[in-house]
Amino acid sequence: MAKVSPGEFVNQVRTEASKIVWPTGRETIMTGVMVVIMTTMLGLFFFGIDTFFGAIVQWLLSLAAGRA
């Protein structure tokens, strides 16, 4: 790896930092809203799946307990 002087390193960092394209405030808010919506939908989905399988397990356990 080539050795670079501290001054050259700072210049390279500034050059690379100037290439960064930051999102606008509107883009940031829209992305945040989409994250909240998607996590809510996934939470409800997994809650439903968990409830469904929990009911099946309870039914199977009650079925097994009734025959024991």
DSSP state, residue 68: -
Give me the residues of the chain with pLDDT under 50, please. none
DSSP codes joined into one string, 3-53 = ---HHHHHHHHHHHHTT--PPPHHHHHHHHHHHHHHHHHHHHHHHHHHHHH
Q: d(Cα 43, Cα 30) in Å, to the nearest integer?
A: 20
Whole-prediction pTM:
0.65
Identify the pLDDT of residue 65. Answer: 87
